[in-house]
A and B are shown apart, each in its own frame.
Chain A
Amino acid sequence: MSTLTDVREVMRRDQVWSFLKDEQPQVDVSHDVILYVEGLNLSFDGFKALNDLNLYVNDGELRCLIGANGAGKTTLMDVITGKTTPDSGTVYFGQSLNLLQHDEAAIAQLGIGRKFQKPTVFEAHSVFDNLELSLKQQKTVMPMLLARLTPTELDRIDEVLNVIGLKEQRFMQAGALSHGQKQWLEIGMLLVAEPRLLLIDEPVAGMTAQETERTAELLTSLAGERTVIVVEHDMEFVRSIARTVTVLHQGTVLAEGTMDQVQNNPDVIEVYLGEAP
């Protein structure tokens, strides 16, 4: 780089005073892509969990990730949410936000919500409190100490309670909810923070058919406004919600397309039939 460009870079008016910069940078989706994952490599003790993985997700899309155990689905989520640092590769949220530079808390505040495989809610708190804590707010010590529930926040919580259908259980201890209700509460906790991108790991594991159906409705209704990435084993469920499916295999993308395309893809057939007992 020449000196001139160096100077220009240093003197950029929007960059000089870092404290003047927006606390919450906007996600730049002017090219319609909200998540860029490129050339991701990660190995644990010689085992290649991610192998040159590339994935692009459009804004407002509902994407399903499928693949056998150990294909790297959860590891990919770990990398996106900042839990694990990859050996190489880049992850961008929108055009300008490099996710690898942020920690879990910062990434969550940027608007990426993650639901774990096992439903994880704050069991000792009421459903309401669980949502209150998950609200989009300044999540540092002092503001939290002084925070009061505002009417706007109350409305927002009520709205989400309606969406996840736990209005009746709002004062119930989260630990006393059924498995399926906990799954919904966890999704509600993500929703109340108004995320741009939702990463949802096995939302229907352990749910009854009826609950599964409702979850499918919920997830499809979210897409459009928000981007949703769902990891799921239940093929029936994937078929019912998915528009685009990405198949992972041994840490890399094997195929991508609609459910029918993927199922007829020779690579996928080979891998799945080859692995079948």
Chain B
Amino acid sequence: MNQLMRFSRLHGDSKVAPFVAILVLVTLLASMGNLLMPQDSVFYVSTYTITLLGKYLCYAMLALAVDVIWGYCGILSLGHGAFFALGGYAMGMYLMRQIGDRGVYGNPELPDFMVFLNWSELPWFWQGMDQFWFAMLMVLLVPGILAFVFGWLAFRSRVTGVYLSIMTQALTYALMLAFFRNEMGFGGNNGLTDFKDIVGFDLQADSTRVTLFAITALMLAVILVVSHKILQSRMGKVIVAIRDGESRARFIGYRTERFKVWLFVYSALIAGVAGALYVPQVGIINPGEFSPLNSIEMVIWVAVGGRGTLIGAIVGALLVNYAKTKFTAIMPDGWLFALGALFVFVTLYLPQGLMGLYKKMMDKRKNTTDGGSGPDDVLSAPVQSSAKGGDV
């Protein structure tokens, strides 16, 4: 019995391993399709597609970050765009410094917008950003520290639910307003753009694009596996316990606020990394990334995919963003309405998201293939109707 239990604990019924395999395979095929196939081949994958896929994967990573905190700990953050954008800005600053004297004004030290603003020297917070390792450190540190301070203050004061969501929203909105100002030294509303190369590789080259895409896919896989391990550990069980009964968890001896802070920081780190991978592929970072609307969109990705399932978040982000690309090409103004409608639809009819639907269908199939006899059908029917009742 115990052996059996340990086995099921180790292997569970998770689909992380096959999902990672698919992810790696698709990445490999797409990369080869771009680099090895001739342009006129059926199997040729355009660089545009590669970049688009890379962008989607960054969004998927971001959705994962939101899901870890919302799906597993019940903390609805409407400000995860802030961590994403901060990671992106850190990467953007590095890329700006890499331009060197190839800018419009040809200043070897100052980025173009600073020359334009008549600044004579580099502000202190731009120092060191020409070093790749330092910039990468900042990608982690800045979102991490912000999340720690914010989380520590909020969770220690036991701020929960809607109030916390509004605070996170205010946080990202405040940052957006701050970054819009030219005096902040982050390029104002134009943001940072016109990047040339990254660690010596030309950003426009196909091989660089493919490498960035592959790194994104790899990072996503690593983060997925690590998150899965964390949430499977006893700590992960505490996280879910906090979601379902915070005071119960506290009264059996857990300092729930600490668990929440660390999970929040972890989630912010993932968002920061996603932002840092996003910027070189998209080629621009501006304060628009801080807009509350973006953060709300992330929540919808997770809701569509199914919160509380890591793979669901990824699938949701990929599908919604694919739909967005298609939809905005046909009817650019209609997208927000479609997004809103999607959210209402998912909330009403798919509270568990696509993963929940998938699971329900699998259960149904299992039921029909297993038994098929009278009593089984009788048993499965009420379960279904009650599930339906729960949906509405």
Contact = CB atoms under 8 A, between A and B. Distances in A.
A147 interface: yes
Interface in B222-259: 230, 233-235, 237-238, 240-241, 243-245, 247-256, 258-259
Contacts, number: 84
Contacts of B241: 122, 125, 133
B262 interface: yes
Interface in B353-385: none
A226 to B, nearest CB: 16
Interface stretch (A65-73, A103-111, A247-255): A103-111
A113 B230 CA distance: 28
A113 B252 contact: yes
A141 B259 contact: yes
B248 A147 contact: no
A129 B248 CA distance: 14
A237 interface: no
A134 B251 CA distance: 10
A108 B233 contact: no
Contacts of B233: 144-147
A123 B244 contact: yes
Contact of B237 (A114, A116, A125, A146): A125
Give the most central of B5, B235, B251, B253: most A CB within 10 Å: B253
A253 to B, nearest CB: 25
B248 A116 contact: yes
Contacts of A141: 235, 258-259, 262
A154 interface: yes
Give the contact-size bracket for chain A. 20 to 34
A11 to B, nearest CB: 32
A120 B248 CA distance: 7
Interface string A70-98: 00000000000100000000000000000
Contacts of A149: 6, 9
A121 interface: yes
Given A81-B251, A109-B253, A145-B234, A122 B2 contact: no
Contacts of B245: 120-123
Interface of A: 81, 103-106, 108-109, 113-114, 116, 120-125, 128-129, 132-134, 139-141, 144-147, 149, 154, 171, 189-190, 193
Given A139-B252, A139-B253, A144-B233, 12 more contacts: A104-B250, A108-B251, A113-B252, A121-B245, A123-B245, A133-B249, A139-B255, A141-B262, A147-B235, A189-B252, A190-B252, A193-B253
Listed from nearest, the 4 A-B pairs whose CB atoms lie closest are: A108-B253, A144-B235, A145-B235, A147-B234
16 contacts: A103-B255, A105-B256, A109-B253, A114-B251, A116-B247, A116-B251, A121-B248, A124-B243, A125-B244, A128-B5, A139-B255, A140-B258, A141-B262, A144-B234, A189-B252, A193-B253
